[in-house]
Amino acid sequence: MTDDSRIKQFEQMASADPDNELGHFSLGRAYLGAERFDDAAVSFARVVELNPKMSKAYQLLGEALDGAGKRTDAIDALTKGIGVANELGDRMPLEAMADKLRSWDAPVPTYETPTAEAEAPAASGPSAAGFRCCRCGRPDGQLEKRPFKGDMGEKILANVCNGCWREWIGQGTKVINELGLALSSKEGQDAYDQYMLEFLQLEEV
C-alpha cells in the first residue's frame, strides 16, 4: 500500500469514529511516516485529548511538533509526557522522551528510576477485588471501564490491566500498518481480533 492510500484509509477510520484514539493514533503515525509533521501533530494532540494517559502519544506528538519546527511546543509535550509516563511506570516511552529532551539540551523533569520491587508483580496475591491481569500478572491497574462495547470489551475489562491494554493499542497500530488491514472489512476485523487475543493472552481465559 502506498503512503497516500494508507493515509486515506486511516483518515477514513479517524473520521468514521472520531472518539476512537486508535484511529487518530494510526493516522498520526501514517502522517509521521510521510513527514507530514503538522498533520501528525494535530492527530496526536487529539489522541492525548481523548486519552491523557497514553504516554506514547506524547512522545510522538513531541516528534511531530519538532519535525514541524515547533521545538518549544515539542519540549512542552515531552515534559508533560514524562510526567504521565512516570506516573504510570511506562519505562520505554519515558526513557525515549528523556533522551530526546537531553539531545535538545532541554531540562528533563525528575522521574523515578525503577526499583526491583516496582518491576516485579506484587507477591501478596490478588487484590481484594480479585483482579489479576492475564498478561502480566499484576493485581492492580484494572481498566476503569470496558474499552469498547460487547463481550470482548467486557472480557478485556475483567482480565487485562491498563498498562497491557495501552501496549496493545501501540502494537495493534503496528499490526494494522504492517499488514495493511482494512478494519472496515470482516477479514480485516477478524485478523485484528486474533492478534489482539494473542497479544493479550486472552485466548485461554
In the complex with Zn ion, which residue's Cβ is closer, 136 or 157? 136
Q: Of 107, 108, 106, 77, give the one whose Cα is nearest residue 95.
A: 108
* Cα dihedral 143, 189, 21, 27 sign: positive
Q: Give contact residues for Zn ion (rule: CB under 5 A).
A: 133, 135-136, 161, 164
* Rounded least distance, CB 87 to Zn ion, Å: 16
* Rounded least distance, CB 203 to Zn ion, Å: 15
In the complex with Zn ion, which residue's Cβ is closer, 44 or 195? 195
Which distant-in-sequence residues (6+ apart) come within 8 Å of 95 by Cβ? none
* Distances, alpha carbon 36 to alpha carbons 31, 43, 60, in Å: 5, 11, 13
In the complex with Zn ion, which residue's Cβ is closer, 6 or 135? 135
Could you tell me the three cell numbers for 148? 469498547
In the complex with Zn ion, which residue's Cβ is closer, 62 or 147? 147
* Rounded least distance, CB 160 to Zn ion, Å: 6
Count the residues in the chain.
Answer: 205
* Rounded least distance, CB 36 to Zn ion, Å: 34
What's the angle, vertex CA 65, arms to CA 62 and CA 68, rounded to 5? 150
